[in-house]
A and B are shown apart, each in its own frame.
Chain A
Amino acid sequence: MISVRNLEKSYGRLKVLRDLSLDVTKGRVTAVLGPNAAGKTTLIKCILGLATPDSGAISVGGVNVAVDYRYRESIGYMPQKATFPENLTAREVIRFLQDLRSAGHDYDTTLLRDFEIESDLNKPLRSLSGGTRQKISASIAFLFNPRLLILDEPTAGLDPRSSSKFKDRILQFRSDGGTVILTSHIMSEVDELADQVVYLNAGRVAFEGKPREMRERTGTDRLERAIARLMEEVVK
């Protein structure tokens, strides 16, 4: 579904991605892990076209992302921090996004219902709590029936109940054949959701494989430990 080849990206003198290559398989949940500043968000932004790589190529569903922006029609994205225009209501933002996309969609509003935020949709966004905004952001990611979901720290601001509903939805999405990339710091979540784990360190792929393989390789039972072990390994 996604193929990343020899990606290089630096911000000024800071090299964020170094010769990074990666494949994301269709119908799977791939978790991108790594310490802070490992390049997770930058990788996601490159895939989304929000950041332009210095060199290397990315294709999504066979389309080179640098050439044609329309590949994003099949992507649902949930950023780390949900920020919206303060003066509008969520309903207006949603309608606006619907207007922007080509007509002829049927919209997936299950998450909006599951989160029980319909009453908040008519309030100006500035009056909503961070958690509610996060829910709106998650709902928007699903709204246009994407085939690929990109979720940057998706459950960070959510209460346990919503978080659980959200994870259910993600698993449902995968079993319907959808592809997911997510970043997370919550290992239980990765364990629960991910089919594939990519561990980034200093802009490179330090490990790529199934969560089980990762545990085996590092000789620990829990993913959290496995990651801690990996981080140490890299430091040595």
Chain B
Amino acid sequence: MKVTRHILAYEVKDLFRSTWLIVYAAFYALLTAGLLYYGGGGRAAVLSLINVILTLIPLVGLLYGTMYLYASRDFIELLLSQPVSRRALFRGMYAGLALPLSAAFAVGVLVPVAMFWSTIEDAGSLLMTIISAGVALTLVFVAVAFVIANVVEDRVRGMSIAIFVWLGATVLYDGLILYVVNVFSEYPLEIPVLVLALLNPVDLARIILLLNFDISALMGYTGAVFERFFGTWLGIGLSSLALLVWLGVPLVLGLRRFRVKDF
């Protein structure tokens, strides 16, 4: 654990030295501030913010995660020649990347929201939901990036796969849902669609956010099914479980690969 902590601390330091992370946080700060300023703290601003979060966070998590791992290859080699276990190194690397990224996002959103606090309806719960969704997505997609970068040696291929995964999670998967809905329109689809959505972390995060902000539209018949599901402990439990699986499975796969990988 001590080793993990040192690696984590080191990586955080390294990340904060690079302007990247600062730019990332500043981007969210400017975006949020801009949306709140021009949107007057209304729903439109919040919903635009959600859109950006849902698309951008997975992309940044995937690309930055793979890039960082490829770029630190030599350094990993140096560390592995030290008396350090691979498990500890993996844990430290993951936490050292995922936590600063999450923090950059959280701070980026938090500062402008605090500035406009009084103009936003229900600012507290809004902030909580947005930040936890953003952090969850960051954690998940950095973990996925760690699988990609550990399995695929070639960095161009690895980055392409990362982009493809992003495209899959944000666009193609939803295309599949739309297709399913169209083809099987004769059948009651609320539950299957719900299950499909649970299987994609981006969709899951989106729905949880929507339940907070688009409640009126979602209160149609279908919406009622969704709302009832996500409003119950079963729903909350299942969606948390789905997110945990999305976090746990890539981490386990990534670590497994990392432990036998040749440097």
Q: Which residues of A contact B (CB under 8 A)?
A: 11, 45, 48-52, 69-73, 75, 77, 79, 81, 83-85, 87-88, 92, 96-97, 99-102, 150
A50 to B263 Cα, complex, angstroms: 5
Pick from A75, A77, A81, A92: contact of B74, CB under 8 Å = A81
Least Cβ distance of B80 to chain A in Å?
5
Q: Which residues of B contact A (CB under 8 A)?
A: 3, 6-7, 10, 13-14, 17-18, 72, 74-75, 77-86, 260-263
A49 to B263 Cα, complex, angstroms: 9
Q: Is the CB of B72 within 8 A of A72?
A: no
Q: Is the CB of A88 within 8 A of B13?
A: yes
**Given contact pairs A87-B18, A96-B6, A101 touches B82 in the complex (Cβ within 8 A):** yes
Pick from B14, B83, B262, B263: contact of A72, CB under 8 Å = B83
**Given contact pairs A45-B262, A87-B14, A88-B17, A79 touches B84 in the complex (Cβ within 8 A):** no
Pick from A88, A99, A101: contact of B83, CB under 8 Å = A101
Least Cβ distance of A5 to chain B in Å?
19
Q: Is the CB of B14 within 8 A of A100?
A: no
Q: Is the CB of B18 within 8 A of A50?
A: no
Least Cβ distance of A129 to chain B in Å?
17
Could you list 26 examples of A-B contacts with CB < 8 Å? A45-B262, A48-B80, A50-B77, A50-B81, A50-B262, A50-B263, A51-B263, A52-B261, A69-B85, A69-B86, A72-B81, A72-B82, A72-B83, A72-B84, A83-B78, A84-B78, A87-B14, A87-B17, A96-B6, A96-B10, A100-B3, A100-B6, A100-B7, A100-B79, A100-B82, A100-B83
A63 to B73 Cα, complex, angstroms: 27
A100 to B10 Cα, complex, angstroms: 10
